């Protein structure tokens, strides 16, 4: 049998610079805090050569090239991030990329959730199926690889848990050491255990995520460490590939809506940047709307948009059991506002009860995710009711973290303990039909058969 090969010349190594998102100043280098020296705002990576003739000639061939790489055994081709390297900043040596074969995450349909939300086609892009169980790996492979290339011995992040787990893993795969700064008692033990196993120096501080970020910003001035929070624009570049891969999975047919949880707001910024770049390069002809859902107790972006037209953001003391997005002063809020404006998206919020219910509903579709990811379904239900999302629209939820990232939340939910002693205890009664607590029985077949009979009566058939 003969194999047909497609030979398309890869573009020359991608030349990139840093550009300030506020004053637009362009630089070749960034300081330790990845902020503009002139105005203090965030930097982004941009590609001056993208409007060149060479890019215009090569871009149409990218889709076939990216597809072709799926059959390659080269590590960077097996990575669902570096496979798209024509749209990433160039490493001096591609084969020095630190990769755990991240990306390559599945796109599932969610039939039961679609019925619940009131749309015909609902999909989940499950970024929790990344090597350390969250979307963070897609950005971390790029940012860690550049930190290594720059010769850093230490990398560091403040985290609600997933960034730290991911960073610690990528540092451990190379010669770098990692410093994790997390809020004591506010990170799920599953995530904490990852950082420990991957050998991070883990500092638990008696503060919240925002307090950890403040401390780390001081540390980076005093110790030569590469900051790997999502203010690091290389993280954003890697996270772009979630959207590129999604489009590829749709055979480049553009879905109508992408719905993403909002915490520090790096991920929605990255997905939006990817979509706008794909549009710019002519690889798609329109973008989906990108909408952000926040937890009600950490809804700074929502308030910024509704109360200040997206022009300012007032930090808050964040509070939610979806600890991954318990953030009161999101760093990338300006980038997020631009994405909402450029794609015509919106922002919604989900209450604690709504998050818990949505998580159980996604679980009942056989997929499962962590609480922060479930805000997407909770938000979608509202967007459908408001008419912002139409019944015939094709919708994609970005599930950012794996179910096993926060087992305590799930166990407490099913045992009916999640809201015990809280202000939501009464409302939580409405969640009973979603709860599946384990039953403790005598060790006999009779007892188990009785349980089966009981279950047959009580659980409706699909
Ligand atoms: N979902 C999960 C599972 C997360 O871990 C995070 C952020 C988000 C959503 C929000 O993404 O910050 O880009 O808006 N977790 C960070 C961390 C803050 O430290 O792990 P974002």
- State the SS3 of 326-362: CCCCCCCHHHHHHHHHHHCCCEEEECHHHHHHHHHHH
State the average pLDDT over residues 94-118.
98
Among candidates 432, 434, 361, which has minimal Cα distance to 399? 361
In ligand 1, the atom with minimum distance to the C-alpha of 166 is 20
Measured between alpha carbons, how far is 206 from 203 in angstroms, rounded to an integer? 10
Tell me, in angstroms, the distance from the centre of ligand 1 to residue 148's CA. 23
Q: How many Cα neighbours within 13 Å face the side chain of 458?
A: 11
Is the pLDDT at 54 greater than 90? The verdict is: no
Tell me, in angstroms, the distance from the centre of ligand 1 to residue 445's CA. 45
Q: Report residue 391 as tokens.
A: 């019944």
Summarised one tens digit per residue, pLDDT across range 419-437 is 999 999 999 999 999 999 9
Give how far the C-alpha of residue 203 lies from the chain's centroid of Cα atoms, to the nearest Å.
24
pLDDT given for residue 459 in this prediction: 61
Measured between alpha carbons, how far is 273 from 282 in angstroms, rounded to an integer? 14
The fraction of the chain above a pLDDT of 70, given in percent, is: 96
Tell me, in angstroms, the distance from the centre of ligand 1 to residue 111's CA. 26
Among candidates 288, 307, 290, which has minimal Cα distance to 299? 307
| Cβ of residue 267 lying under 6 Å from some atom of ligand 1 | yes
Give how far the C-alpha of residue 184 lies from the chain's centroid of Cα atoms, to the nearest Å.
23
Give how far the C-alpha of residue 306 lies from the chain's centroid of Cα atoms, to the nearest Å.
24
In ligand 1, the atom with minimum distance to the C-alpha of 134 is 3
Mutate to test the pocket of ligand 1, among 155, 164, 209, 263 (most ligand atoms within 8 A of CB): 263
pLDDT given for residue 15 in this prediction: 82
Tell me, in angstroms, the distance from the centre of ligand 1 to residue 410's CA. 18
Torsion angle of C-alpha atoms 309, 313, 319, 322, degrees rounded to 10? 70
pLDDT tier at 460, thresholds 50, 70, 90: low
Which residue do the tokens 């997020």 mark?
336
Residue identifier of the C-alpha nearest atom 19 of ligand 1: 159
pLDDT given for residue 462 in this prediction: 47
| Cβ of residue 161 lying under 6 Å from some atom of ligand 1 | yes
Strand, coil or helix: 163: helix
Is the pLDDT at 7 greater than 80? The verdict is: no
Cα four-point dihedral sign 125, 412, 408, 185 = positive
In ligand 1, the atom with minimum distance to the C-alpha of 370 is 3
State the average pLDDT over residues 100-108.
98
- Greater confidence (138 vs 459) lies with 138
Tell me, in angstroms, the distance from the centre of ligand 1 to residue 325's CA. 6
DSSP secondary structure string for all residues of 358-378:
HHHHHHHTT----HHHHHHHH
Is the pLDDT at 1 greater than 50? The verdict is: no
DSSP secondary structure string for all residues of 188-244:
-HHHHHHHHHTT-EEEEESS-HHHHHHHHHHHHHHS-EEE-STTSHHHHHHHTHHHH
Summarised one tens digit per residue, pLDDT across range 254-300 is 999 999 999 999 999 999 999 999 999 999 999 999 999 999 999 99
pLDDT given for residue 13 in this prediction: 57
Identify whether the C-beta of residue 298 lies closer than 8 Å to the C-beta of residue 271. no
| Cβ of residue 370 lying under 6 Å from some atom of ligand 1 | yes
pLDDT tier at 382, thresholds 50, 70, 90: very high
Strand, coil or helix: 259: strand
Measured between alpha carbons, how far is 60 from 63 in angstroms, rounded to an integer? 7
Is the pLDDT at 129 greater than 50? The verdict is: yes
From the DSSP assignment, how many helices (H) and strands (E) are in the chain?
16, 13
State the average pLDDT over residues 208-234.
97
Is the pLDDT at 4 greater than 70? The verdict is: no
Among candidates 267, 315, 295, 313, which has minimal Cα distance to 162? 267
**H helix or E strand, kind and range, residue 413:** helix 407-415
| Cβ of residue 264 lying under 6 Å from some atom of ligand 1 | yes
Tell me, in angstroms, the distance from the centre of ligand 1 to residue 449's CA. 43
Among candidates 140, 148, 150, 93, which has minimal Cα distance to 241? 140
- The neighbour count for residue 183, using CB atoms within 10 Å, is 22
Tell me, in angstroms, the distance from the centre of ligand 1 to residue 458's CA. 37
Give φ, ψ of 204 to 5 degrees: -95, 120
| Cβ of residue 239 lying under 6 Å from some atom of ligand 1 | no
Q: Report residue 89 as tokens.
A: 């900043």
CB-based burial of residue 394 (10 Å sphere; 0-12 exposed, 13-18 middle, 19+ buried)? middle
CA distances from 250 to 40, 366, 378 (A): 39, 21, 24
Give how far the C-alpha of residue 166 lies from the chain's centroid of Cα atoms, to the nearest Å.
12
In ligand 1, the atom with minimum distance to the C-alpha of 264 is 12
pLDDT given for residue 53 in this prediction: 86
Residue identifier of the C-alpha nearest atom 15 of ligand 1: 324
The fraction of the chain above a pLDDT of 90, given in percent, is: 92
- Greater confidence (460 vs 30) lies with 30
| Cβ of residue 89 lying under 6 Å from some atom of ligand 1 | no
- 40: phi > 0 → left, psi -120 to 50 → alpha, else beta; which? left
pLDDT given for residue 3 in this prediction: 37
Mutate to test the pocket of ligand 1, among 42, 130, 157, 160 (most ligand atoms within 8 A of CB): 160
Tell me, in angstroms, the distance from the centre of ligand 1 to residue 455's CA. 37
Mutate to test the pocket of ligand 1, among 187, 267, 320, 337 (most ligand atoms within 8 A of CB): 267
What contacts 387, CB < 8 A, 6 or more positions away?
none
In ligand 1, the atom with minimum distance to the C-alpha of 159 is 19
| Cβ of residue 159 lying under 6 Å from some atom of ligand 1 | yes
In ligand 1, the atom with minimum distance to the C-alpha of 165 is 20
Residue identifier of the C-alpha nearest atom 6 of ligand 1: 324
Summarised one tens digit per residue, pLDDT across range 166-204 is 999 999 999 899 999 999 999 999 999 999 999 999 999
pLDDT given for residue 11 in this prediction: 47
| Cβ of residue 130 lying under 6 Å from some atom of ligand 1 | no
| Cβ of residue 228 lying under 6 Å from some atom of ligand 1 | no
State the Cα angle at 412 between 408 and 416, rounded to 5°: 175
pLDDT given for residue 5 in this prediction: 36
CB-based burial of residue 445 (10 Å sphere; 0-12 exposed, 13-18 middle, 19+ buried)? exposed
pLDDT given for residue 458 in this prediction: 80
Q: Which strands make up the sheet holding 43-46, listed edge to edge?
A: 26-27, 17-20, 43-46
pLDDT given for residue 23 in this prediction: 97
């Amino acid at each position: 049998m003969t194999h047909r090969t497609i030979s398309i010349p890869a573009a020359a190594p991608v030349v990139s610079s840093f550009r300030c998102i506020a004053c637009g100043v362009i630089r070749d280098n960034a300081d330790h805090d990845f902020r503009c020296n002139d105005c203090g705002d965030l930097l982004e990576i941009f590609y001056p050569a993208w409007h060149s003739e060479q890019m215009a000639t090569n871009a149409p061939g990218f889709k076939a090239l990216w597809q072709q790489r799926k059959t390659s055994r080269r590590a960077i081709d097996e990575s669902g991030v570096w496979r798209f390297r024509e749209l990433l900043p160039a490493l001096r040596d591609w084969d020095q990329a630190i990769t755990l074969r991240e990306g390559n995450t599945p796109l599932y349909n969610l039939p039961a959730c679609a019925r619940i939300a009131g749309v015909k086609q609902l999909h989940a892009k499950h970024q929790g199926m990344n090597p350390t169980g969250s979307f963070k790996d897609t950005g971390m492979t790029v940012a860690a690889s550049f930190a290594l290339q720059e010769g850093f011995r230490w990398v560091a992040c403040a985290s609600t848990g997933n960034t730290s787990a991911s960073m610690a893993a990528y540092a451990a795969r190379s010669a770098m050491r990692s410093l994790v700064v997390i809020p004591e008692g506010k990170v799920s033990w599953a995530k904490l255990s990852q950082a420990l196993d991957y050998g991070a120096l883990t500092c638990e501080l008696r503060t919240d995520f925002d307090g950890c970020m403040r401390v780390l910003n001081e540390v980076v001035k005093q110790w030569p460490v590469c900051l790997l929070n999502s203010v690091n624009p290389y993280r954003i570049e890697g996270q772009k590939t979630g959207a590129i891969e999604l489009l590829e999975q749709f055979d480049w047919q553009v879905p109508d809506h992408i719905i993403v949880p909002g915490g520090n707001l790096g991920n929605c910024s990255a997905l939006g940047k990817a979509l706008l770049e794909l549009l710019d390069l002519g690889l798609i002809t329109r973008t989906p709307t990108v909408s952000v859902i926040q937890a009600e107790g950490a809804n700074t972006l929502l308030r910024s948009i509704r109360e200040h037209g997206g022009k300012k953001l007032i930090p808050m003391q964040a509070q939610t059991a979806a600890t991954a997005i318990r953030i009161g002063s999101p760093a990338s809020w300006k980038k997020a506002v631009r994405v909402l404006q450029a794609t015509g998206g919106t922002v919604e919020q989900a209450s604690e009860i709504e998050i818990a219910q949505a998580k159980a509903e996604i679980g009942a579709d056989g997929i499962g995710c962590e609480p922060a990811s479930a805000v997407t379904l909770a938000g979608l239900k509202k967007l459908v009711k408001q008419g912002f999302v139409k019944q015939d629209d094709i919708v994609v939820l970005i599930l950012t973290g794996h179910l096993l990232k926060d087992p305590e939340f799930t166990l407490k939910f099913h045992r009916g303990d999640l809201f015990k002693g809280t202000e939501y205890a009464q409302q939580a009664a409405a969640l009973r039909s979603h709860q599946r607590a384990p039953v403790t029985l005598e060790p006999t077949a009779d007892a188990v058969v009785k349980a089966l009979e009981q279950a047959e009566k009580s659980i409706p058939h699909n």
